Amino acid sequence: MNISTTDKEIANYLQEELERSQNGLEMIPSENFVSEAVLDALGSIGTNKYSEGYPGKRYYGGCQVVDKIELLAIERAKQAFNVDHANVQPYSGSPANLAVYYALLDPGDTVLGANLSFGGHMTHGLKVNFSGTLYNAVNYTAKKDGYLDFNEIRSLALKHKPKLIIAGFTAYPRIIDWQKFRDIADEVGAFFLADIAHIAGLIIGEEHPSPCRIADVITTTTHKTLRGPRGAMILSNGKVSNPIKKVPRTKENIPTLIDRAIIPGLQGGPHNHTTAAIAVALSEALKPEFKNYAKQIVLNAKALAKSMIDEGLELVTGGTDNHLMIADLSNLNVSGKDAEHNLDEIGITVNKNTVPFDSRSPFDPSGIRLGTPALTSRGMKEDDMKLIGQLIARLVKNINDNNIKEEIKKQVLELTNKYPLYPGIKYN
C-alpha cells in the first residue's frame, strides 16, 4: 500500500505542495529541488536502522550495510571539497554549528560572527540563540554599501580576542575573501570557522573560492545550492586520533574534537536515510554537468539582478556575485513583509529580509531576499530571469492593484508550465 490509500489527508497535502511548487517560482535562495534519485534515497529503508557511533565503531549490531553507506558519503564529501575529514551525521546546519562550539569552546568564551541583520545566521551569535546566550557573542556588521568591513572585523577581533571567528552568510551577495578572515584569526589566535551552507554547491562547481584549505573547520548544510536533502556536514583537515579519548583543543585535533562533539556529545543515532541521500547528492555534484549547473545559477542571478535594477529596484551592494540578492524597497515605500505576502499571492516565493542599517523591524524589514538555485534546477535561463525581474518590479510598484496582480499571476503560471517539476510523481 502507498500513502494515497493509507493516509489520504497527508497524500492530499503533499499533492497540494507539489502543485504549489510546480505552479510557482521558488526564489528563496536557501531552497532547491532535489533529484528524484535523492528523493528515493530519502524515503528508503535506511530510515529503519539505528546506528549510534561511527562506521566500525557502533553501539548497535547489524550496521554493516549502513557503515558502507556512511563511508561512501564521507569519501564523496572529502573528494568534493578537497578535505581530509568529513562528518556527515549532523542533523542540520544549526546542530552542525552547535557541534563546532561544543568541540572548540567553553561556555562564556567569546565568538565573533556576523550580525543577523547584516547577513549572518542566528547561530553566529544572535542574542536569543544558544550562540548568544551560552557564549559571549560579538557581532560585526558591514559598510554602508553592504560590503564586508574588514577594518571593523579586525578592530573587533583585536579588542575582544575571540576564540572563534565565523565567516559565512545567509544574505551576502558577494564573494567572500576567506584569507582575510584567516589572517585576522591568526593575529588574535582564534579558530576560524567557515559556514558555507549557502554556497557549498557553488564551491564544488568552482563558482566561488573555497575555504577548505584555509579555515580550521567548515560547516555546511546539504540542501541549498548543493541540491541534496536537509542535512549537514562538518569538514576539516587532519586525522581522527582516538574518538573515544579526550584530546586537547588544538587545530591538529579538530577532526577528533568534532567527531566527539557529534557523538557522544550532542546527538544519538544518525539518520541513515538522509546519509544515503547526501551520498546521492554528492555523487551528482561530482559529475561534470554540476559545474554547468553552478555556473548557470550565477548567470541567472546576475541576469535577474540586472533586470531588477533596470526596472528601478535598488539592490544591496548593487548586484550579486553568487546565487542571491537583497532588494531594498525603501525607495518604493513598500515593506519587505508586504512584498513577500503579495508576491506569494501571485506565485513568486521570496522572503522578507533586513537591509544594512535597516530602520525597520526585522519582523517587517525594508527588503526581500531572493535567489536562483531552484529556478535553475528547473532549467530556467537568463531570458526567463529577465522576465521574472520585470514581473517582481511591476508587482512591488503596483502592490495594491488587484488587476495587475492577476495579470502577473497568469504570466507566472505560463512560465512555470514550460518547466514541469517531478512529472512522474503523484501523491493522490
Q: Can 422 be counted among the known catalytic residues? A: no
Closest CA to 425 of 35, 28, 29: 35
31 as an active site residue: the answer is no
Q: How many whole angstroms separate alpha carbon 371 and alpha carbon 32?
A: 10
The answer to whether 50 is a known catalytic residue is yes
Which of the following is catalytic: 163, 224, 227, 260? 224
Dist CA 361 CA 342 (whole Å): 19
User: What is the number of other CB atoms lying within 10 angstroms of the CB of residue 189?
Assistant: 10
Q: List the Cα angle 124/355/350 in 5-degree steps.
A: 90
Rounded distance between C-alpha atoms, residue 210 and residue 213, angstroms: 8
Catalytic option among 221, 275, 320, 376 = 221
Give me the DSSP letters along 328-389. E-GGGT--HHHHHHHHHHTTEE-EEE--TT-SS-TTS-SEEEEESHHHHHTT--HHHHHHHH
**Region of residue 327 (phi > 0: left; psi between -120 and 50: alpha; otherwise: beta):** beta
Of the residues 143, 154, 180, 230, only one is catalytic, namely 230
> Is 216 a catalytic site residue?
no
Q: Is 60 a catalytic residue?
A: no
Locate 163 and state its grid cell: 576564540
Greatest alpha-carbon span in the chain: 68
383 is catalytic: no
- 368 alpha-carbon distance from chain centroid: 17
Whether residue 264 is preceded by a cis peptide bond, meaning omega within 30 degrees of 0, is yes
* Distance, CA of 335 to CA of 400 (rounded, Å): 13
Catalytic residue among 70, 195, 259, 384: 195
Hey, what's the cell of 242?
582516538
CA distances from 135 to 52, 101, 103 (A): 28, 9, 13
* Given the residues 50, 147, 419, 427, the one annotated as active site: 50
> Which candidate, 325, 346, 358, places its Cα nearest to that of 395?
346
Ranges of beta strands (E only) in 160-282 are: 164-167, 191-195, 217-221, 232-236
User: Which positions are annotated as active-site residues?
Assistant: 50, 52, 195, 221, 224, 230
